[in-house]
Amino acid sequence: MKLDASCGATTAEVPKPETEAAPDAEPRLEAEAEPLSESGPETEAQPLDFVVATEREFEEVLAISGGIYGGLDYLPSRYHSWLQDPDHTVVLAKRNGGVVSRG
């Protein structure tokens, strides 16, 4: 990827793939296709609810950050200060009542 930041404008040039799909690959018919996971677009996902974070969700937020950066995720040490900062709003995505992401 090439980035050019001249004159205050940034453009991105993304290289094109060198080859197309293998010529001997057999196309899969839509009727034959099987979902690869339980969370893909083929499945009906429950809608997300977006809420402003509070102290009550701290344990749930910790659970989704577990194992990130080899246990060195900065989130546990910053969560409370983000909530107290008047210039920031922490938003959580919830599905079926449980936290699934933060932003």
Query: Which of 44-48, 60-64, 91-95 shows the lowest per-residue confidence on average (mean pLDDT)?
Result: 44-48
Please indicate, yes or no, if residue 96 is contained in any of the structural domains: yes
| Residue among 45, 44, 60 nearest 92 (CA) | 60
Query: By the 8 A CB rule, do 24 and 62 touch?
Result: no
pLDDT of residue 91 exceeding 80: yes
- The count of structural domains within the chain is 1
Which DSSP string do the residues of 37-94 spell out, in sequence order?
SSSSTTS-PPPPEEEE--GGGHHHHHHHHTTGGGGT-SHHHHHHHHHH-TT---EEEE
Confidence at residue 36, expressed as pLDDT on a 0 to 100 scale: 44
Confidence at residue 44, expressed as pLDDT on a 0 to 100 scale: 63
pLDDT tens figures, 25-37: 555 544 444 444 4
Name the pTM for this structure: 0.51
- For 83, the domain range is 49-102
